[in-house]
Chain A
Amino acid sequence: MTQPPDARAADTGVIHDIGYRGYTGPRLGRAHATRSLFVQSLRAAYGLGRSGRSKVLPMLLLGVVTVPAVIYVAVAVYMKRDELPVEYAGYLSDLGLVVSIFLASQAPVLLSRDLRHHTVPLYFSRPITRADYVRAKFAAMACAQLLLMAVPLLVLYTGALLAGMDFGHNTGQFLDGLAAAVLYALVPTSVALVIAAATPRRGFGVAAIMGYLVVSSTVAAVVVDMRGPSPGGSDAAQWTALISPNGLVESLVNEVFDLGSGFDRRHAPGAFGAAVFALVAVAMVAGSYRLLLRRYSRV
């Protein structure tokens, strides 16, 4: 029969030694923790280490961006052409929508879930600092994006080389494409992460990121058309690409590497334009990074 606590004899309590010990092994420290968070986030972006259902979407999108590259290579080999039917950087801007969907769907996976389940304070109770957290997440999302774009480029490149196409030309183009991929992986991603960090709701984050990316590029496209499709005189309208992260990168890459053709070619207007576009791109990334740091300084 249990008695109320104050009725029990005071001297029956015993402290048992059940063998708890302090941790005496090596401590891996802050840098290792940051690196682990980076690796875990990068894997999470592709659904690795998570449930099977969350692998479906990223893997599907990875397939969607890669399959056309395989088809292009197959067509070029079959038709015995001495050049790929597409430019490496142009391929990325053609599939920009799919890459944006990947970004919009996975950026909230990395950031919103931590906010929603209040795991962010748990991270910060460890040696990891707020800046480390932002750095790891930012790097993870950028790397995930870069990986998504590097895979089809590699398919195109190896396909072109195996088919015996010109090595120098393809290598140059491939490097241009990789530079474009790095820019695509930095500029739109930084903006998307700021949006994702602002909302703990995943669905809303996805819609907001996609809404911003798509609406800004549609507005830019409409304004370009508004000025009429005259090939020479449409330079002024090209400035509107500044509002759209994807358009900004596409225009900048086309101008700097002298790519693209046709009258609907997006390009930064002239050398001065290219400098301004580059500056805006840097400002976008740096500004977004600062905003992220500020966002997490008061979680």
Chain B
Amino acid sequence: MSSHIVLLQDYDRHDRVWALDLRSGEVSPASGRCHGFVRLQMPQHPGPAREDREAAALFAEAGTLWFQYGDRRWDCASVTVRHSGSPDGTRRFTVTGPHGIALDLLYTAPVPEPFDPSYDAIDALEDDFLHWVAQRLATAGRRHNLLAHYLNGFLPA
């Protein structure tokens, strides 16, 4: 990695930009052109699983698309990311590398309130950052698009 700081837009707040320290996984307020998204912490939903407590980010840096969780990060081209749900309301997010599962998160599915009768695919992904990450990394074409887009950077909208 060429630097230790990358600017990211907050996934859940349109008006916030954070500087992510790639070594520690800590964030601090910033401003400027962003190179991906960060979700600061999972909202606390009542439910059986609450293992997901670290900042998570998807971004491009030094020609590579990265997924970072806490102080760990993975080159998205060399890992497989999976997302699934269970009938008990928990969701599982896994990152699998050449040596097996590198990250295994269980968390309680967000329950959007109130019920929106026009709930659609965008809503489902907007409610769950890890679900969105898994969907964006599902195909080589999407990864390629995101890499080019995030390397170029974007201003917070």
Q: Do A and B actually bind?
A: no
